[in-house]
Structures are given as structure tokens and as C-alpha cells.
Structure 1
Amino acid sequence: MQDLNPTGTLHIGASDLEYRMIGSAPADAPTLVMLHEGLGSAALWGDFPDRLAAATGCGVFVYSRAGYGASSPVTLPRRLDYMHVEALEVLPALLDAIGFRRGLLLGHSDGASIAAIYAGGVQDHRVQGVVMIAPHFIVEDISVASIAEIKAAYETTDLKSKLQRWHGDVDNAFYGWNSAWLDPKFRDWDIREYLAYIRVPVAILQGADDRYGTIRQIEIAREECYCPVDVTIMAGAGHSPHREAAGATLEAIVEFANAVLQGDEGARGRAA
């Protein structure tokens, strides 16, 4: 276990991963571990982790996966099973390194899929619930179409310059994600098998106007999971409800976290 400063770098495997820790350390209190989207980073969560920490009383740990933010770049092209690698190899080592003892995984998009693979594939008793924002369990036509559109935008508009604010090597971040999803072989990517092995409560938050996935993802979770699945459809939100409907998203996550982690004084919610 490494000593955690409010910000720093963890050496996990062959990579240096930037992180930010808000509130109590994982060894001292329940912790929400946040897993960002396919073009995200620790910083791109904005102040949402701080608001979560204030509203739940939990510690909140955010980090940038390799290839994102200020973390080490990755070799391109990425392996098409990169989310499995993150869930089954990197995340277990990271949780051990930070002294994680009890809490929730909270993932967005790719991060939600990684959280699902971990929860179903590792059976870690320390993880007591999983929050998935806009998760993917299979590849849908709408996902591929929107990812192809964003590739065109990256190469023809100011999107690249906007993303440079969040990534040290923006091409590494973008193409590592985009090229994997657009590879024809990726259409066979399917993580439904992991859902049946999740043994903790799950909360799914989906924007009503999500252009990267449909309600089919939620139907799959309900079909495959034996654990409780709490679903919230966020009106007026797209693929990033924590940005587009931040207040309602925060409220839903806090309610879930408090219900799952009740009994631990450090996890009891305070009025936001």
C-alpha cells in the first residue's frame, strides 16, 4: 500500500497513473473509485468527485488510465480486449496499492464497462456496489455510428484542441479509444457473461438522449444480472448525465451509495 497525497502518481504495472484523492484515504473510510469514459481523465470529471465526497461523506478516488490525462501513454493500436486488461489486471493492483478496504466502483461509459467486468470477474468482497453511467455491454450500431462521427470531428474541427486541455498526448488518448471501437473485429465485443456473476447491488444511470447507446444496454443488465439493478433514466441528458444533469445525477448516486453503505457512519449522506 502506498501513502496517498491529495494528488500524485501511482506506478501500476509498466505505467505511471495520475490520481486525485478527495476526503479520507481508502484505508480509513468507504471510498468511491471513479473510472472515466473512453475520452476522459481524472481532471475531466470536473468538480463532480468533490461534490460526491461532500454529499456522501465517503472518500473519492479518481485516476487517469494509461493513455489518458497525465498518465503514461499506451502503445497503439490498443488491444481490442483493453477493457478486460484494465478490469482484470490493472484495477486489482490499483485497489491494493491505494489500500482500498470498502466502497463502490463508479464508472462512466468505458469506465462503467470496466467496473462491470471487475465486479463480475474478480469477486472482490471490498466492492459493495457498482454505479454504471451509460454502460456498454455489447456494441450497438448507434455506438459505432457516433464514434465514427466523432472521428471525423476530431480530424476536421477544433475538437482536438479542446481535448488537448485534458490529455498530455491527445492523439494517444483519442486514437487508442476510437480505433479500437471502429475496428470491425470489435463488433464481437460482448461482456454479458460477467453480469451474471455480479453479487452486489448495481445502479445504472442512462441519459434519455444518449447517442452512444440505447435502452438495450439496460435490458441486458436486467436480463443477465441476478443482483438488484436500480435504473434511472435522466431526462434531458445525453451520454454524460453527470455533466448534463449534474444535480439529478448526484442525487441518484448519493441515494444509492447511502443505501448500500449504510451502517458505516463515514458513509452516511449529508444534505448536499
Structure 2
Amino acid sequence: MKRHGIQIIADGKRLEACWLGPGPGQAPTLVFLHEGLGCVGLWKDFPERLVAATGCGALVYSRAGYGGSDPVDLPRPLTYMHHEAQVVLPQVLDAAGIQRAIMVGHSDGGSIALIHAGSVDDPRVAALVLMAPHVFNEDVCVAAIEQARHAYEQGDLRTGLAKYHGDNVDVAFRGWNDAWLDPAFLDWNLESFLPGVQVPVLLIQGVQDQYGTAAQIEAIERQVSGPVQTLWPEPCGHAAYRDQPQAVISATTQFLENRMKSRPPTTNASALTSRGGV
């Protein structure tokens, strides 16, 4: 499946972006929202595999300061995810002509999707597929991000990331790492947005995720207004789409089929749990 590069200008920045599969007038669109160190390239072949399984189209883009997108000034404000969700993402959807969107968010991308769905009146958003989303800070997250800083400064993490971010590598890493390790970020919390999330949500949390605990998922399950399903793949760390891609693809395909047909889901209770009908 070939990726087609498209031009996206949002919030005054040129964003690296590509399109896969059917156009927005032919099928719903999977909108891929990457993690705090991610970009178009770091999704690898997961978008192609999910498009092939679901029949949806896909928009994959790198936020400003990542991958091949325009850089941003540092330090990032501690509200950078709010800005991405409430200002940038609507412009991205407009620029790409999205008509019906399923947000596929990982980590920071999942948090951005929750802010958008919980605070922006956007009827284009039909559902959320969220891998390891955060809605508050935790000690385990801070410890893992401190380890990432050490690996970046003393190990080979910078070299690995530079293959995907190029000249943006320091902007990408410092913008994410410095914000999360700012003492003021300990009070970061998105729970006030959760009651506003009325669309169906699929939550995917690796059992061995080093960046967050089950408390993140439990808070979302408890407070969103729409129906929720949850997948706990294992063995699986922070990036379920890399560690357990087939489990994620199968769960997402089933979730979307049930959502589009508006009927109660039939799931393997040992792996996938639900609250409400999707």
C-alpha cells in the first residue's frame, strides 16, 4: 500500500503528512496521533496494516517539531497538548478534508485525542482508539522519562531518534522530556475533560507499560460519558502497536465493526472488556 504525501499547514507550520487508503468521501479516516517522541516514520507499517484490516482511510502526520515538520521554539509550554488538541488538530482535519474521524492516539497522542473529544464541539469525531493515554502524571512516568533523558544524553537514544527526526531530533526530545520533568508538570491533569467525551472509546494498555499504571485507564473508564472497551495485551510495554500489533489490529477492527453496525460487541472477555454497548 502506497503512502501519498499531502500538504498540511496548521497553526502556521508546515506538517509532514501522508494519506493511505480510501479518501475521506469514501470511508472513515483513521487519524494517527503519535507519542511524545514519535512521528510519521516511527509508526512503521502499522498504519498500512490497520488500513488493510479495517477498510478505512488514514491520515498520518508529524506534529510541529517532529519528523519532517517545521520546528518549534523551546521550551514548549506545559499546555502544549491542549494547544495541539484545541487549536492545531481542528486545522489539520480541515486541511485534510476529513469528514468522519477515528482518532488513533498513542501516549501523548492519546491524551491529545481525549482533550479534543472532551472540549471541542467536533461532530467529525466518531470514535477514539487510545494506546497508553495519560490523564495525570505518575511517579512511574517521571522515573521512566528520567531514564529516557539519561539514555539520550549518555546512550544511543539520540542517534536512533535522529534517523526519524533529522534536524528536529533535539527539539523533539527536549520539547517532550523537559516538559514532563518540569516540577510544575507534576500537577498536570486532564480528568476535567473526560465527562465531555461522548464517543465510543477503545483503551489499550500494555500490562508491562513502564510509563503508566492501570490507574490511568480506570480513571478514563470511570469518567467518560461514552461507551468504553479495554484491551490489556501482554507481554506488552508502552507501545502496544509495536509489541502486540496483531492484538491491537484485531481489537480495533472488531471495535470499529461493532461501532459502525451499532450493535453490542462480541468479545473475548479474557482480553477485551466493555462498559456499555459500542
Structure 2 length-normalised TM: 0.91
Q: Which has the higher contact order (CA 8 A, sep 6+)?
A: 1
Work out whether residues 103 and 261 of structure 1, in 8 Å CA contact, stay in contact via their aligned partners in 2.
Answer: no
Q: Which amino acid aligns with 2:181?
A: L
Matches within 5 A, 1:14-163: 14-163=12-161
- Displacement, 1:101? 0.6
CA deviation map 1:198-254 (0-9, x unaligned): 111011000000000000001101221121111110110000010001111111111
Q: Which residue of 2 aligns with 1:253?
A: 252
- CA–CA separation in structure 2 for the residues paired with 1:159 and 1:225: 36
Q: Which residue of 2 aligns with 1:212?
A: 211
**Partner secondary structure for residue 248 of structure 1:** helix
- CA–CA separation in structure 2 for the residues paired with 1:52 and 1:26: 16
CA deviation map 1:118-152 (0-9, x unaligned): 00111311111101100000000100110011000
- CA–CA separation in structure 2 for the residues paired with 1:12 and 1:22: 20
Q: Which amino acid aligns with 2:115?
A: I
**Partner secondary structure for residue 131 of structure 1:** strand
CA deviation map 1:156-182 (0-9, x unaligned): 011110101110220010000000000
**When the two structures are aligned, how many residues end up with a matched partner?**
259
Q: Which residue of 2 aligns with 1:237?
A: 236
Structure 1 residue corresponding to 2:10, chosen from 9, 12, 35: 12
- Taking only aligned residues, the RMSD between alpha carbons, in angstroms, comes to 1.1
**Partner secondary structure for residue 236 of structure 2:** coil
- CA–CA separation in structure 2 for the residues paired with 1:179 and 1:221: 26
**Partner secondary structure for residue 60 of structure 1:** strand
- Displacement, 1:28? 3.0
- Which 4+ residue blocks in structure 1 deviate beyond 2 angstroms? none
**Partner secondary structure for residue 6 of structure 2:** strand
% identical aligned pairs: 48
Q: Which residue of 1 aligns with 2:202?
A: 203
Work out whether residues 24 and 59 of structure 1, in 8 Å CA contact, stay in contact via their aligned partners in 2.
Answer: yes
- CA–CA separation in structure 1 for the residues paired with 2:173 and 2:80: 14
Q: Which amino acid aligns with 2:183?
A: P
Structure 1 length-normalised TM: 0.93
User: Does the alignment pair 1:194 with 2:180?
Assistant: no
